[in-house]
Amino acid sequence: MDFGKLFSKVVKTVKDSIEADQRQNTTTAQPKPTPQPATTTHYEEKERTDAEWVTFFRDILTSEFPEYSLKENVAVTNVVGFATDEFKLYKSRPQQAYKAEWGQPYTFVLEQAGTPQGVVMLGKGHSHDSNVKYLISRMYAKKLGIPYINFYTQMPNERDYVIGRIRKFLK
């Protein structure tokens, strides 16, 4: 048998096998998958206003961290003092400097004996983490060695999660 005839037989066998598979698939009805119910999350999704978020966090901070006094909406300069330095945020733009008074006010400051022990910031969307005002606030907290904890208000922020995260940062 020459190579051409052998090749033709192999091609015919493969074609016959493919056609047989196709006939079997068309004659045997495949059962439709049963629709799965929508998965439920273990938290209640709720849209909150900015004021409701502040109240939610205030309640957690006062009830779960009673050893700290709580201040709200605190200007960066109230924590770091009047900083005469100009903080450089970007290595790629060394000529551009920022001052403490330009920072976003801290949503909450946890204090012990009048000394800041931690900062909790609330912000909308992930963009608040890259907003220059937030960056200035975070960098001055870091400069003073104060834990800076931010929470995105578009996330569920379950009570246990918030408490656990704050405890971790305050260690």
Residue 27 has pLDDT above 60, yes or no: no
- What is the pLDDT, as a whole number, of residue 92? 66
Least confident of 16-30, 56-70, 127-141: 16-30
Alpha helices for the chain (secondary structure H): 3-27, 50-64, 76-80, 132-144, 159-170
Residue 108 has pLDDT above 80, yes or no: yes
pLDDT tens-digit series, residues 82-107: 665 555 566 666 666 666 777 889 99
Backbone angles phi, psi at 79, to 5 degrees: -95, -45
Query: What would the mean pLDDT of 53-71 be, rounded to a whole number?
Result: 96
- What is the pLDDT, as a whole number, of residue 127? 59
- What is the pLDDT, as a whole number, of residue 135? 85
Residue 52 has pLDDT above 90, yes or no: yes
Residue 68 has pLDDT above 90, yes or no: yes
Inter-residue contact 99 to 84 (CB < 8 Å): no
Pairing between β-strand 69-74 and β-strand 106-112 as defined by DSSP bridges: antiparallel
Most confident among 11-20, 119-128, 141-150 (mean pLDDT) = 141-150
Q: pLDDT averaged over the chain?
A: 79
Backbone angles phi, psi at 64, to 5 degrees: -95, -15
Q: Look up residue 28 and give its DSSP letter.
A: S
Query: What would the mean pLDDT of 125-143 be, rounded to a whole number?
Result: 78
- What is the pLDDT, as a whole number, of residue 124? 81
